[in-house]
Amino acid sequence: MVPDLRKQEILKYMTGKDVVYMQDLADELDISLSTIRRDLQALQEEGEVVLMRGGAARIMQRDFDEPVVRKKLINSEAKEIIAKKAAALVEDGDCIYVDSGTTTVAMLKYLAGKQITIVSSSTQLMEYMPIKGAKCILLGGEVRDDLESVFGSLTEKMISNLYFDKAFIGANGYIEDGAIYTYDPREARKKEIVKEYSRTAYVMMDTSKKNKHAFAKVFELNECILITEAD
Residue 66, pLDDT score: 56
Q: What is the mean pLDDT of residues 49-63?
A: 69
The mean of the pLDDT values for the chain is: 88
Q: What is the mean pLDDT of residues 161-182?
A: 92
Nearest in space to 178 (alpha carbons), one of 218, 222, 208: 222
Q: What is the mean pLDDT of residues 194-201?
A: 98
Q: What is the mean pLDDT of residues 28-38?
A: 91
Q: Does domain 3-58 have CATH number 1.10.3720.10?
A: no
Domain extents for the chain? 3-58, 68-227
Dist CA 119 CA 135 (whole Å): 8
pLDDT band at 47 (very low <50, low <70, confident <90, very high): low
Region for residue 75 given its phi and psi (left: phi exceeds 0; alpha: psi -120 to 50; beta: otherwise): left
Dist CA 194 CA 191 (whole Å): 5
Quote the percentage of the chain above a pLDDT of 70: 91
pLDDT band at 48 (very low <50, low <70, confident <90, very high): confident
Rounded to two decimals, the pTM is: 0.71
More confident residue, 69 or 19: 19
| pLDDT of residue 133 exceeding 90 | yes
Q: Which amino acid is at 94?
A: D
Q: What is the mean pLDDT of residues 14-25?
A: 83
What is the domain class of 68-227 according to CATH?
alpha beta
Equal CATH topology for 3-58 and 68-227: no
| pLDDT of residue 65 exceeding 60 | no
Quote the percentage of the chain above a pLDDT of 90: 56
